[in-house]
Amino acid sequence: MRYYNKYNAQPVVIDGIRFASKAEGAYYMLIRNKTQKITMQEHFEIISAFVING
């Protein structure tokens, strides 16, 4: 059974990573061969942990 979303995008799996559409998979294929390091999602801290009332 194939899964389609409301935009009729077909999911695709490339290198063990599931992408919601063929367009996302094509973009991944484009950037994976770049020589510079590209992260898909960068991790960052918005605010450091703190204690309230002691």
pLDDT at 16: 92
Residue 32 · residue 16 · CB < 8 Å: no
Residue with tokens 């918005």: 46
Indicate the number of domains in the chain: 1
pLDDT at position 41 = 76
pLDDT in tens, 24-40: 999 888 888 776 666 66
Using left for φ > 0, alpha for ψ between -120 and 50, and beta otherwise, residue 26 falls in alpha
CB atoms within 10 A of CB 4: 9
pLDDT of residue 48: 86
Tell me the residue range of the domain where 31 lies. 1-54
pLDDT reported for residue 33:
76
